[in-house]
Structures are given as C-alpha cells and as structure tokens.
Structure 1
Amino acid sequence: MSDNGKTFVGAQRSIHRELSTFLKEAASDIAGKYTVHGLSWQFIPPYAPHMGGLWEAAVKSFKTHFNKVAGNHKFTFEEFTTLLIRIEAVLNSRPLSPLSQDPSDLQPLTPGHFLRGAPLVSLPEPNAENLYLPNKWQKLKVLHHQFSTRWKTEYLQELHKRHKWKGKEPNIAVEDLVVIKEDSLPPNDWRLGRIVKLYPGPDQNVRVADIRTQKGIITRNIAKLCLLPPPPSTMDA
C-alpha cells in the first residue's frame, strides 16, 4: 500500500504488465501455478498523505535524523547509496512484537522477517569513537552509527511513552518480552529479554525486575525496559 506517486503507479502498471505477459507465454501448468501469486497494490486517495500516517511518520523520522547527522556532508552516488542501505537495515531490524508466545524464545518479530523471512544481521564493528573520520569508508560507518543511536533512542521512547498519572497503569508481567535500553550497541542489535521476577514496592507497583537474556539474568529498573506489544493473536483473544 502506498501513496499515488508517479514511480509507485508506474511500478504497479509495469508489474501487472509483466505478469500478464508471463502468464500468456508460459505453459498452462506453470500459468496455473503462478496465477495465485498476483500482487494487489492499494493506493490511498490522491492528495491525502495523512491517510498514510504510519509510513509517513517513518519517512519523517528518517529525514529528520539523517539531516542532523549527514546534512553537511557531500557524498558520491556510491557513498550515498551505501549509507542509505545501511540505515535501511537499522530501520528494518527494529523489534515489533514477540515472535512467539514461548517464554524461552527471545526473538522478536521485525520488518526483516517480512522481507527475507529472518532477522537482519550484520558483522560486528568497532564503536564510532574508534573510527577514523577522514577515511571515506569509515566516515560512512561513523554516520551510520550516529544515525542509529539517534533513531533507536527515538524509537524506544515511542515504545516507552510516559503519560501524566491520571489513572493506574497495569504492571509488566512475568514472561513479557522487553527491549532493554543500552548504549553503545551495534546499529542492528537490540538487547531483548523475558521478565522472570518482579519486585513490587509497598504500593504494589513494580519498579524493578529480573530479566533473562542470552547472557544470563540481569536486574533493571523498569525505566530501562520497553515492553513490546503482544502479537495480534494475543490481543484478539
């Protein structure tokens, strides 16, 4: 689903034209197999960008942080493409919800699962402070890390919004999957864990919890934890 940009409309026409040509030229058994794989491209009404709020907000967030991080730099086409692809991987690595209801599963559902059926991974890199800015390749790494730090902070703040205390909010629960706020993580890495023990205060509000991570049990204040929304099947039940 997209807006009515000329490139999107042209791509939709091209895909349908090529698929139609393929089905006409292919043998009947192959045509029968691929007919069910048609692509349904939906457009929002013209001149109504507010109806695409989810992706428009993502585009705005990207543009804001990219301008702050790389607005004063000049790139060749190859450098610019490389940086955008690395940033794209950061955005598509973000955790959306638990991948399963198995309490031993620490993997979240990410946009990467919809793109390639698995989370996006990258090779480990040194922190941006240890990179050499005049080197062109390392300069791209520095900008990549700086963008990642800014954007991750904003995304986790959206997951962990703080509202004025007008009513009682439910406590986190054992087996909830949470994102743990940590600085200096690689761009595509997110530290996740499952709640295993809660420490309620005298008012029965939980402020500290034990979390099981891949490196063992850790204790954190709930201000450092961002609860992932449950999968749709759980919310519908």
Structure 2
Amino acid sequence: MKHHLRRIIGNAFLCHEAFITVLAQIESCLNSRPITPLSSDPNDMQVLTPGHFLIGRPLNALPDHDYTGIPENRLKLWERIQRCTQHFWQRWHREYLSGLQKRYKWSKFTANLVVGSIVLLQEDSVPVLKWPMGRVLEVHPDDGGVVRVASIRLPSGNITRRAVSKICVLPVEVNSEQLPSTAQSSDAIRSSTGSSGDSGNHIDAEESRNMC
C-alpha cells in the first residue's frame, strides 16, 4: 500500500486536509475488499468485507468523473484528490486480483472451480469501491478434466462465460454446507437479541431485590 501511495502522490503539494482526505479514501478502498460469502443462498450475492466490522455494512462511493487522463494543472483541489484516489484504486485493485489468482507450475495440482461459489471478475476501468462478482453456475472442463471456462451468473441475472484466468476466488473459501442461509442468519440474530434482553431483565430484577 505504501508503495502505491508514494507512486500516486509523488512530489504533489497537498495541504493537511487534502492529504487526510486522500488517506481516508484509500482506507475505504482497502476496507471494501470481499472476504467470504455471507450465506449459502444461491440468489444472495452479499459478501463479508472489513467494512462490516467497522460500520456494519459494505462501503460505497458516489460515482464521479474519471480524472486519471486529465493533466493535474487543469484540476481543482477536490478533483486532484479524486485523481489520486482513482490512480491508487487502479493500481491496487489490479494487483490485489492478481494476488488472488494462484499460478503454479505444472508439477503442482490446482483445485478446480466449484459450482455455487462466489468469484470476483477481472474487468477494466472499474469504478472506485466496485467489485464485479458473480456466482459460478456451471463449469466447462477440457479433455483432461481441468476447468478452463465457467458460466457465471451476474447480480443482474445475466449469464456470461469467462475464462478461468479472468476469475478470482475469494480469499477465504468456506464450504457451502457450513454457511447459514439468509433466514437462519436473521433467526440467529433475533434469538441472540432476545436472549440478551432476557438476561438484562434478569440482572435488573436481581439488582432491585438486593437494593430492597
């Protein structure tokens, strides 16, 4: 991260407020990366991100113009800040997806894609904080049994075919049988909330009796 930060800022003159804004936006980029699916529901495309631990939901950003191709001397202060964030996103996003693709030599076996798993899609010119993803609907192995192409169902409902080289598996792979469904997750949350409320009422009753 520090390497990309030095490359995008370089010798730019930024005031304290502008520099803090750039760091905050870069922090949101890092905390928006998908980690693992939230449920085993095939219609649920939601994934767990570091933003869920910070604010309880994924991080989003408003759409903005692309300032990467505009000279810096023609931009205002806010546009320069957005330009720095967009440059960082392009570099780090491409490097992060490349790190998720495990490339081994022919002497080592690599596991094939599993039907039903959520994968990230490599695309060009992706907006900031946007992670194109889909769920594997069908795999197409070659004569040797190695999966080369997969059919991906997008969140919009469309189905597309992508080569395995353009697909990235989430960093934390969990068996679909171990993931709770959407209904089970909501029931668990309600039950935990109810139990905590009952325990709190029990403690209040004990304290009132002791005071008496």
TM over 0.5: yes
Are 2:14 and 1:75 aligned?
Answer: yes
Shift of 1:135: 1.4
SS in 1 for 2:52: helix
In the alignment, which residue of structure 2 is the partner of 1:230?
Answer: 173
Q: Which amino acid aligns with 1:116?
A: I
Residue in structure 2 matched with residue 195 of structure 1 by the alignment: 136
Distance 1:204 1:232 in 2: 22
Taking structure 1 as reference, are residues 234 and 71 closer, same or farther at Cα in structure 2, changes over 3 Å only?
farther
* Residue of structure 2 aligned with 1:95, choices 21, 29, 34: 34
Equivalent pair of 1:132/1:138 in contact (CA under 8 Å): no
Deviation at 1:92, TM superposition (A): 0.4
Evaluate the alpha carbon distance shift between residue 66 and residue 129 of structure 1 in structure 2; reply closer, same or farther with a 3 A threshold. closer
- 8 A contact 2:40–2:176 mirrored in 1: no
Higher relative contact order (Cα pairs below 8 Å, separated by 6+ residues):
2
TM-score (norm 1): 0.69
Residue type at the aligned position of 1:230: E
Write the mapping of 1:78-227 to structure 2, written as runs, cut at 5 A: 78-129=17-68, 133=72, 134-215=75-156, 216-227=158-169
Deviation at 1:159, TM superposition (A): 1.0
Change (3 A) 1:128 1:217: farther
Tell me how far apart the structure 2 counterparts of residues 120 and 86 of structure 1 sit (CA, whole Å): 11
1:177–1:192 contact (8 Å) kept in structure 2: yes
Unaligned ranges ≥5, structure 2: 180-212
Deviation at 1:231, TM superposition (A): 3.8
**Given that residues 68 and 86 in structure 2 are in contact (C-alpha distance below 8 angstroms), is that contact kept between their aligned partners in structure 1?**
no
TM-score normalised according to structure 2 size? 0.77
Q: Is the 8 A contact 2:4 2:88 kept in 1?
A: yes
Q: Are the equivalent residues in 2 in contact too, given 1:99–1:108 (CA < 8 A)?
A: yes
Read off the aligned partner of 1:141 and give its amino acid letter: Q
Query: How far off is 1:131 after superposition?
Result: 5.3
1:129 shift after superposition:
4.0
The Cα RMSD (Å) is 1.9
SS, match of residue 85 in structure 1: helix
Q: Give the aligned length.
A: 175
Identical aligned residues as a percent: 39
Equivalent position amino acid for 2:63 in 1: P
State the match for 1:29 in structure 2. Answer: none
Distance 1:151 1:140, change over 3 A: same
Q: Is the 8 A contact 1:173 1:195 kept in 2?
A: yes
Confirm or deny: 8 A CA contact 1:200 1:207 kept in the other structure: yes
Compared CA separation, residues 232 and 89, structure 1 to 2 (3 A): farther
Letter of the structure 1 residue corresponding to residue 159 of structure 2: I
Of 185-194 and 166-175, more deviation after overlay is shown by 166-175
- State the Cα distance separating 1:66 from its structure 2 match: 0.3
